[in-house]
């Protein structure tokens, strides 16, 4: 079963903009060795929207081989075109993904029936289970509760990454949690509240820099030791907020570079952080460094 701290991994780049496979391998090993319970590649944090299909396929092949089933590997395969989402999901599942993560359509926002058909088509085509991804702040649309109810019954839809940040909405989604349908928090600042209503972990940006602590928050929640879990979350809250001081993944890559990783820069249109925000992030990291390492 997929559960716990699932890192939404960055994609490291070289100075010339190519994917840095040496550093990617180091990151995959780092997470397998530091209590991360699952790894997402080609997600929002992985800048998938700025990668070519050929680059994505190579990253999947490399990651499948490097992780070698040490932890579950989840691959982002969504698109705002159903045919592309079907093609990507089928391809990446064939290459060895354990799960695919599929975002709702964006820009050309669909109606409810189109949304249901979109996810059904992907789930029918994929050789591995599908996790739906609801993030209205990015896509401009939120999944209706009726659509979630219908899709939760599909045998190849494993669950949902719920990243609306709206606890009132999330608790309504939690009605559909079952032994066959699972929910994951998509927000690091509400891991504990989300797990208290039935989420089975978090798909996390924070885990890029604090894998053990994010894992520990989840483990304590599984034991229903919510006070202890919340104590850790509150200690890391400034860092969590700092990782979103500018649009994701700009701050988390900056933080990782400051901490000694070599993840490089970004694909345009993303750009480097302002000097003022770099200094703010550096101060936050220095405050919590002892908590992380």
Contacts of 249 (CB under 8 A, 6+ apart): 10, 44, 45, 46, 47, 205, 266, 270
Render pLDDT for 16-40 as a digit per residue (tens, 0 to 9).
Answer: 999 999 999 999 999 999 999 999 9
Is the pLDDT score of 171 beyond 70? Answer: yes
- CA atoms lying within 13 Å on the CB side of residue 213: 23
* Domains within the chain, CATH numbers bracketed: 4-227 (3.20.20.70)
What SS3 class is residue 13?
strand
**What are the Cα distances from residue 255, in Å, to 1, 208, 251?**
31, 9, 6
What pLDDT, on a 0 to 100 scale, did the predictor assign at position 293? 66
Is 80 in contact with 47 (CB distance < 8 Å)? no
Catalytic pick among 88, 92, 99, 133: 133
Q: Among residues 181, 182, 201, 183, which one has the least CA distance to residue 192?
A: 201
The first and second tokens of residue 206, run together, are 């924070």
Q: Which of 5-19, 65-79, 260-274, 277-291 has the lowest mean pLDDT?
A: 277-291
Contacts of 61 (CB under 8 A, 6+ apart): 95, 96
Q: Regarding predicted confidence, which is higher, 290 or 10?
A: 10
Q: Among residues 123, 56, 60, 126, which one has the least CA distance to residue 93?
A: 126
> Crossing angle, helix 53-67 and helix 82-94, to 10 degrees?
30
Q: Tell me the average pLDDT of the chain.
A: 97
Annotation says 161 is catalytic:
yes
Render pLDDT for 233-286 as a digit per residue (tens, 0 to 9).
Answer: 999 999 999 999 999 999 999 999 999 999 999 999 999 999 999 999 999 999
The first and second tokens of residue 238, run together, are 């400034």
Catalytic pick among 161, 176, 253, 266: 161
Is the pLDDT score of 44 beyond 80? Answer: yes
**Cα–Cα distance measured from residue 220 to residue 208, given in angstroms and rounded to the nearest whole number:** 19
Per-residue DSSP letter, 154: -
Where does the pLDDT of residue 1 fall: very low under 50, low under 70, confident under 90, or very high at 90 and above?
confident
Where does the pLDDT of residue 291 fall: very low under 50, low under 70, confident under 90, or very high at 90 and above?
confident
Q: Among residues 62, 263, 91, which one has the least CA distance to residue 76?
A: 91
β-sheet bridge partners, residue 75: 41, 100
**Cα–Cα distance measured from residue 121 to residue 52, given in angstroms and rounded to the nearest whole number:** 23
Is the pLDDT score of 290 beyond 80? Answer: no
What are the E-state strand segments in 49-163? 73-76, 99-103, 130-134, 157-162
Alpha helices in 104-260 (DSSP H): 112-125, 136-139, 145-151, 167-173, 191-196, 211-222, 226-235, 237-242, 250-258
The first and second tokens of residue 249, run together, are 């993944």
**What are the Cα distances from residue 106, in Å, to 3, 48, 133?**
27, 14, 11
Where does the pLDDT of residue 203 fall: very low under 50, low under 70, confident under 90, or very high at 90 and above?
very high
Contacts of 95 (CB under 8 A, 6+ apart): 57, 60, 61, 64
Is the pLDDT score of 200 beyond 70? Answer: yes
**What are the Cα distances from residue 123, in Å, to 21, 150, 157, 167, 240?**
30, 13, 6, 27, 33
Where does the pLDDT of residue 292 fall: very low under 50, low under 70, confident under 90, or very high at 90 and above?
confident
Render pLDDT for 149-158 as a digit per residue (tens, 0 to 9).
Answer: 999 999 999 9
């Amino acid at each position: 079963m997929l559960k716990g701290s699932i890192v939404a991994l960055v994609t490291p780049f070289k100075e010339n903009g190519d994917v840095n496979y040496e550093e990617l391998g180091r990151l995959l090993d780092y997470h397998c060795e530091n209590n991360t319970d699952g790894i997402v590649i080609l997600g929002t944090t992985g800048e998938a929207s700025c990668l070519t299909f050929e680059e994505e396929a190579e990253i999947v092949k490399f990651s499948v081989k490097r992780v070698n089933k040490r932890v579950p590997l989840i691959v982002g395969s969504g698109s705002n075109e159903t045919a592309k989402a079907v093609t990507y999901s089928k391809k990446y599942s064939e290459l060895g993904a354990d799960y695919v993560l599929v975002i709702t359509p964006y820009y050309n926002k669909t109606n409810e029936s189109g949304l249901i058909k979109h996810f059904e088509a992907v789930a029918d085509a994929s050789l591995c289970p599908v996790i739906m991804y609801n993030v209205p702040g990015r896509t401009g649309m939120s999944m209706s509760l009726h659509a979630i109810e219908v899709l939760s019954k599909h045998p190849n839809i494993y669950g949902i990454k719920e990243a609306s940040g709206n606890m009132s909405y999330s608790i309504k989604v939690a009605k559909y949690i079952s032994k066959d349908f699972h929910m994951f928090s998509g927000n690091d600042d509400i891991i504990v509240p989300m797990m208290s209503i039935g989420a089975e972990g978090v798909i996390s940006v924070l885990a890029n820099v604090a894998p053990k602590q994010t894992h520990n928050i989840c483990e304590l929640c599984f034991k229903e030791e919510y006070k202890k879990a919340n104590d850790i979350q509150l200690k890391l809250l400034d860092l969590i907020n700092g990782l979103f001081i500018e649009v994701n993944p700009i701050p988390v890559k900056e933080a990782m570079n400051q901490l000694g990783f070599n993840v490089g820069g970004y694909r345009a249109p993303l750009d480097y952080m302002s000097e003022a925000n770099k200094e703010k992030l550096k101060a936050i990291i220095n405050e919590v460094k002892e908590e992380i390492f």
